[in-house]
Homo-oligomer: A and B are copies of this chain.
Amino acid sequence: MVMRLYDLAGASDDHRFSPNCWRVRMALAHKSLEVQTLPWRFTEKDEIAFSGQGTVPVLVDGDTNVHDSWDIAGYLDRTYPQKPLFDSEQSRAEGLFIKLWVETQINPIIARIILVDLHGMLHDKDKEYFKESREKRFGMALDSLCADRPGQIAALVTALTPLRQMLKVQPYIGGKSANYADYIAFAALQWARTSAPVEVLESDDPVHAWRERLLDMYDGLARNTPLPKAA
């Protein structure tokens, strides 16, 4: 039976923007595993209550359900060892550092670029929940959080320095080919790309070229997802 992934969606079913869900979709494609993605909204807690979780991604594989994008990656490598997402214990351990680099150094800046736009693209039933929970998390109104987009784009470019320097030596965080650490970092930029009609990278940035390579992978899986339109 094909796996099912509960995947965050906006007002339209085909608007998929969640960075944690994009990690999983890239991981499944990496292993050539078929998946049916089910559009899910923040407030549809009942839909995933069976998993014991209130957020996605939730992956259902036969009788098993797994949540949390990091744990899903571990589950996939244990259950479907072909083309590993991490090729060793140390690779996985270092990947956890890179995950936390993305989550503490990159995602908070992207939030300051996109959250107002993203809020506007959510299903009506999600808008209040999203605004309240994000304003609580960041300790300020969304409008104030996103008040300096050019400054935050510049901060993002600076924060990406270690990745940029690395890309001058090798094409992927995984080395010659992409591994799950690449998907985690890529998913952050895919979150930006699918949430606001703004380009955050210059075309001559090595990070831009790397993102292009990831957008092309798996028959353009990430490139072909519907994008937000400029207002």
Contact = CB atoms under 8 A, between A and B. Distances in A.
A89 interface: yes
Contact of A93 (B89, B97, B100, B175): B175
Interface string A78-112: 00000000111111111111101101110000000
Nearest to A168: B100
Contacts of A32: none
Contacts of A56: none
Contacts of A174: 90, 93-94
Given A88-B90, A90-B179, A91-B88, A97 B173 contact: yes
A212 B108 CA distance: 31
A165 interface: yes
Contact of A88 (B88, B96, B162): B88
B96 A169 contact: yes
B105 A161 contact: yes
A166 interface: yes
B161 A104 contact: yes
Nearest to A171: B93
A88 B163 CA distance: 20
Given A86-B90, A88-B90, A90-B91, A97 B163 contact: yes
Interface in A144-178: 161-163, 165-166, 169-170, 172-176
Interface of A: 86-98, 100-101, 103-105, 161-163, 165-166, 169-170, 172-176, 179, 181
Top 4 nearest A-B pairs (CB, nearest first) are A93-B175, A88-B88, A90-B91, A94-B94
